[in-house]
Each structure stands twice: as C-alpha cells, then as structure tokens.
C-alpha cells in the first residue's frame, strides 16, 4: 500500500522536489530523420519523476504503475481502484501485493518481495513525540503478516483518536484528532504538525522487522511506499 505528503501530501506533506523539463536546450538535426504528418504535434518529453494524481509535485522513484501508494509528509494514500469503508477502516484491491517499493525511507531497499506483511506508519504529536500506528496496513484480513490475501485485498486501519478522510474514492487523507478535531468536521484542515509521516515499520513472518525514518534527500516527512505492481 504505490504504504503516498501533499504540500498544501500519491502523502499517503512539504518541501517539494521539482524537476524542470523546459531548461534543456536541444539542437535540432539539420536534416529530419523521419517524416511527421502535417499538424501532428511532437510527443512530449518523458518525465523522469513519473508523477501521478496528488503526488505530481513530488519526484518519487516509485514505479508509476504501482496500484497503491502511501506518501508523506502528510500521510495520504492513493489507489487505482476505489477504497471501500469509512472513517477508520478501509479496504482496497491491488495487484501482486507481495511487492513493496520504498523511496525516502532510511536504510530501506528500493523494493522487496514478501509472502505477507504489516506496514505501520507513525505520525507526530503536538510536542514532537512519535505516535505509533497512525495507520496500519495489512496484506491479509488477520493482519498477522503471514500471508497475502488471495484476492489482492489490502486492509487499512487508523489508530484510535485518528481517522481517514476520503476526498474522492481513490484517495485517503490521515487526520489526528489531537490537531484536527473529530471525524465529524466538515472540512478538516491539514495540520502539518500532527499529519506528518515520521517512520515506517514493516513486519513479515520469517523476516527481520524493518524500521526506517521518512526522510527523502534529508527532508523529513517526505517519503513514499508503493504496494503491488501490475
């Protein structure tokens, strides 16, 4: 769960990493090597950041076609299929969910394959302390890290005292009641103090536990976790 923050977080936020594609000067060849149909515009240059959706301002190296993405520095999630549920518990269907991709998480590999996993994201309190299990994301309904759901369903749960807003059916946004009020708030604001991705913990039966700080290129609270691949 491509387990995506908007600046304003896929969050799944920040000091943004931007890439300019207009500063490159190219010298056209003196003789065309191919013939284009009149009126056909040239193809756009490739974007090395492979942005998507609300994470378009970030330059994560997560594959662009990852089905589910959790990102920071706020804690948001984005999926290619609709989330199901409300307030604190959701599910979403991915594909090949044994694959996890990481960017901006200290000491983590770029990707790793698991036979089951639990992802735990921590956030920050008003006094800067780490608050564990802001969001727990699991590869099976038992949430024991022992297996993968046979239907590629991913299970998401927010900690007591926190909740997940759903601005649209393919996006979830984390809120902590310590800073953001209750889930009944009509238009909760994003609080950069509490809605902040601090650390990721990965637990998988048969593997050592993994813990890493969310910090992309030295910018704390900016990182991404991709879940699954086509």
What local confidence, expressed as pLDDT, does residue 188 receive? 59
Q: Which residue has the higher pLDDT, 42 or 200?
A: 200
111-141 core/surface letters (b: 16 or more CB in 10 A; e: else): bbebebbbbbbbbbbeeeeebebbbbbbbbe
Chain Cα centroid distance, residue 13: 11
Q: What is the pLDDT of residues 85-140, one digit of tens each?
A: 999 999 999 999 999 999 999 999 999 999 999 999 999 999 999 999 999 999 99
In a domain, 220, yes or no: yes
What local confidence, expressed as pLDDT, does residue 179 receive? 87
At which residue do the structure tokens 């594609």 appear?
21
In a domain, 157, yes or no: yes
In a domain, 182, yes or no: yes
Q: Please, which residues have CB within 8 angstroms of residue 43's CB and are 6 or more apart in sequence?
A: none
What local confidence, expressed as pLDDT, does residue 184 receive? 55
Tally of domains within the chain: 1
In a domain, 12, yes or no: no
Would you give the DSSP letter of residue 105?
B
Flag whether the pTM goes above 0.85: no
- The closest alpha carbon to 1, from 171, 169, 142, belongs to 171
- The closest alpha carbon to 97, from 68, 120, 70, 71, belongs to 68
Contact 110, 225 (CB under 8 A): no
In a domain, 98, yes or no: yes
What local confidence, expressed as pLDDT, does residue 142 receive? 97
What local confidence, expressed as pLDDT, does residue 39 receive? 60
Contact 206, 46 (CB under 8 A): no
Q: What is the pLDDT of residues 19-78, one digit of tens each?
A: 222 232 334 444 444 444 556 655 544 444 544 444 544 567 888 788 999 987 689 999
In a domain, 114, yes or no: yes
Q: What is the pLDDT of residues 137-196, one digit of tens each?
A: 999 999 999 999 999 999 999 999 999 999 899 999 999 988 877 665 545 567 889 999
In a domain, 80, yes or no: yes
Cα distances (Å, whole numbers) of residue 215 to 74, 88, 107, 118, 122: 12, 26, 11, 20, 13
Identify the domain containing residue 118 by its residue range.
63-227
In a domain, 197, yes or no: yes
What local confidence, expressed as pLDDT, does residue 185 receive? 53
Question: Which tokens sit at 229?
Answer: 């691949």
């Amino acid at each position: 769960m491509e387990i995506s923050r908007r600046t304003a977080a896929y969050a799944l936020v920040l000091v943004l990493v931007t890439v300019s594609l207009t500063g490159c000067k190219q010298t056209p060849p003196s003789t065309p090597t191919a013939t284009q149909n009149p009126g056909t515009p040239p193809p756009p240059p490739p974007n090395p950041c492979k942005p998507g959706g609300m994470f378009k301002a970030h330059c994560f190296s997560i594959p662009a076609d990852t089905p589910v993405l959790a990102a920071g520095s706020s804690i948001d999630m984005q999926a290619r299929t609709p989330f199901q549920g409300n307030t604190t518990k959701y599910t979403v269907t991915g594909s090949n969910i044994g694959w996890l991709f990481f960017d901006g998480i200290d000491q983590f590999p770029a990707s790793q394959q698991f036979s089951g996993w639990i992802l735990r994201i921590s956030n920050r309190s008003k006094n800067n302390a780490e608050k564990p299990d802001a969001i727990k994301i699991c590869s099976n309904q038992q949430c024991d890290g022992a297996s993968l759901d046979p239907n590629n369903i991913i299970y998401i749960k927010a900690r007591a005292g926190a909740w997940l807003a759903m601005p649209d059916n393919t996006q979830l946004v984390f809120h902590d009641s310590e800073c953001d009020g209750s889930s009944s708030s009509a238009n909760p604001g994003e609080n950069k103090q509490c809605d902040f991705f601090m650390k990721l913990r990965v637990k998988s039966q048969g593997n050592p536990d993994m813990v890493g700080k969310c910090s992309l290129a030295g910018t704390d609270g900016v990182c991404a976790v991709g879940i699954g691949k086509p």
